[in-house]
Each structure stands twice: as structure tokens, then as C-alpha cells.
Amino acid sequence: MVNLSVNINSENTSYPIFIENEEIQQTFNEIKLLLEKRNYLAVVSEKVEKLYGKILNIPREHKFVLKDGEKEKNFKNYKKITDCALKMKLTRRDAIIAIGGGVVGDLAGFVASTYMRGIDFIQVPTTLLACVDSSVGGKVAIDTDFGKNLVGAFYQPKAVFINPKFLKSLDDRQFKTGMAEVVKYSFIEKSCKCEEELNLTNFLSEKYEKILIRDEKTLLKLIEICVKLKISVVEKDEKESGLRRILNFGHTYGHAIEKITKYKKFTHGEAIVEGMKFAFNLAVKKNLIDKNYKFLADDVMKKFNFVVLPQFSLDKMIELMCADKKATSQNIVFILPTDYSAVEAFEINPKELEGILQFK
Ligand code: GLY
């Protein structure tokens, strides 16, 4: 078992992240031990409930099963879960546990952040995307009619339990969407300023076959590397006032793809892969990196057979990127590669961007 710790300087506290390859029932027993005799509400994804409900064996009165899909991360379900906690008479001493992917974690975490002004929250991510990204770092939110994640909070969990056994049942598309974020870490590793040299790019090149067959030991190591990188970033910049922005590598263009296709056609990871390719292309055109690095990055991405997306109208994409919540008043913010495994934030004026991209 790997036991990592996230130090939250603003609160002078820390929380553990356990990465363990034990039986799933064992993971849940450990959570109950941690809670001692406190009351809890587990928000469980419908898919997880179907596949692992019997093994998890959570009593019905402690469980809220949430349908799958981004559209469930809404005000209505926020209210339903809050009402459920109120009916159960959860107090500030009790806890909310999220068992599922990013939607469950974000929504249950947002309820936890507001319930009685904050109740303990435990994350059990069951998708690769949630293991390496959303379960770590305390971003919780719901979507609104005006956009995704527009109402939320930074609310750190009390503990995170990661068990790669859950990943066996992910379909290929879901697994690959997580792999997109994994590959992203390899392109930003040096900028994460982690004390330990993890060399994710080498790990991916050497182990990609084992990763693709979801060898448990390899996944355990892979998740450990990514979580260490994420911890290093969020410890230095919990509330995204600087360094944390590097985690958005590939996301400026990626979010625009998700918007233009109404979040329906492509997964988050598929859009992010395209966003990373866009960022590499832009970096070459801006002479930030040489072409060899771009070819090397293409090779890493090819190993994981990500789908190739169609071309989108540049005008429309620029318009959408300008509307991104991370854009400044006039400029679009891009995280771009500047060296092998290193990135920096750049603010680029839309007109300038058009000019750069049209220049062959
Ligand atoms: N998913 C990006 C972040 O946690 O900041």
C-alpha cells in the first residue's frame, strides 16, 4: 500500500491518500474504521453500484445512488443529496463519502463543503480520470445552465482511497479519457516542481503495453506517479493563483471542443488530447520548442491510440476560447510547452493567435 500525504498550508493540516491494491471490500472496511462510529452518507455512482454494490455492502439507508453522466452534476441533485443528509440527521461530526468518478466526487464534495458549513468528505475515485485528477486537490463543483463547474468551492477531503481494482471494469473509452490526463502529466512534469524525479515519460514509453492491458501493479505505480505530481502542484498553489494553472495544459482548446460539441460527442480526455496537440503546434509556431520535441510528444500520444478528432472552425474555436472562464479580459490563456516536460502560461491576444496559426 502506498500512503501519500497532501499538506494544506492555508489550513495547517494534511490529508492522506491511500493507493492500495486490496480487495474492494477491504477498502470500504478501512473507511468505516476511519469513521469509527460516526454516521455517513455514501454517494455512489449507479454503474459502481451495479458492479460492486454487493461487494461494497453499504446499507441502503446510508446510500444515495447517482445516475451516471455529466448532466447529473446539477442543482437538482445537489438538493436531493443535501435533503437526504438532512433526513438522515447527519451532523457536522459525520461524513459524506463519494464512490465513483469525477461527477460523483465533484457533486458529493460540493454538498459536503456546504452541508452545515462543511462536513468531512472522503473520496473513493473509481475511474482513472478521478484517481489521477479530480479526487486530489479539493476542487468541487456543480454545472449550471451557463457553463460547467461555475458554482463550486475548494474543499479538501479528509482522505482519498484509490483502489486500481475498480479500473478493471472501465470501458476502453473511459480508461483512455483518464490516460489523456496521465499523458498530460508527462508533458508538464518538470514544471510540477516535485522533489522526486519521477520520469513519467520514460515510464509511459517502457510500460505502455502493460498499462493498456491494465496490469494492476503497473497501474498502481502509474497512479502513484501522477498523484505525486498533482500533490506537488496543489501544495504549492491550492487555489489556482499561479502554478496550478499548468494542470490546464491542453484544456484551453480542449474545453472549446467540449463546448462546440455540447459535451456530447467526445469525452473530456479525447478533447484534451486534441488540446495538447494544438498546444504543441502553437508552441512550435511561436518557436518555444523545436519540432523534434513535438514529434516525440506525438509518439507518446500515438502509443495510447487516442481517437483523432475532426478539424473545427478556427474562428468559432477562438470565440469559444475567449469566453472561457480562465481567459483574461482581452487575452486567451494557454499553457504551452517550453522545453521537454516543461510548460509555462502565456496570454495571447485572439488576433495575434489567428496570425500565428495562419503562418505556415
Ligand atoms: N483539474 C485541474 C485542477 O485540479 O486544478
The string of DSSP codes covering 76-134 is HHHHHHHHHHHHTT--TTSEEEEEESHHHHHHHHHHHHHGGG--EEEEEE-SHHIIIII
pLDDT higher than threshold 70 for residue 134: yes
The closest alpha carbon to 84, from 112, 56, 117, belongs to 112
Confidence of residue 360 (pLDDT cuts 50, 70, 90): low
Q: Ligand 1 atom closest to Cα of 247?
A: 2
Confidence of residue 295 (pLDDT cuts 50, 70, 90): very high
The closest alpha carbon to 65, from 76, 49, 83, 89, belongs to 49
pLDDT, mean of residues 288-316: 95
Q: Strands 13-19, 2-8: parallel, antiparallel or unpaired by DSSP?
A: antiparallel
pLDDT higher than threshold 60 for residue 206: yes
What is the share, in percent, of the chain residues with pLDDT greater than 70? 98
Q: Ligand 1 atom closest to Cα of 181?
A: 1
Domains along the sequence of the chain with CATH: 2-168 (3.40.50.1970), 182-359 (1.20.1090.10)
Instruction: Please choose from 134, 226, 326 the residue to mutate so as to test ligand 1's pocket, defined by most ligand atoms within 8 A of CB.
Output: 134
Distance CA 200, CA 224 (A): 11
Confidence of residue 42 (pLDDT cuts 50, 70, 90): very high
For residue 54, report the distance from its CA to the centre of ligand 1, in Å: 32
Give the residue numbers annotated as catalytic, written as ranges.
117, 139, 181, 230, 240, 244, 248, 251, 255, 268
Does residue 102 have its Cβ closer than 6 Å to ligand 1?
Answer: no
Average pLDDT, the chain: 95
pTM attached to this predicted model: 0.95
Does residue 250 have its Cβ closer than 6 Å to ligand 1?
Answer: no
Report pLDDT digits (tens) over 58-106.
999 999 999 999 999 999 999 999 999 999 999 999 999 999 999 999 9
| Contacts for 76 with CB less than 8 Å, ≥ 6 apart | none
Residue-level pLDDT at 12:
87
* DSSP reduced 3-state for 194: coil
The closest alpha carbon to 231, from 301, 164, 166, 160, belongs to 160
pLDDT higher than threshold 90 for residue 211: yes
pLDDT, mean of residues 304-326: 90
Report pLDDT digits (tens) over 10-19.
888 999 999 9
For residue 30, report the distance from its CA to the centre of ligand 1, in Å: 27
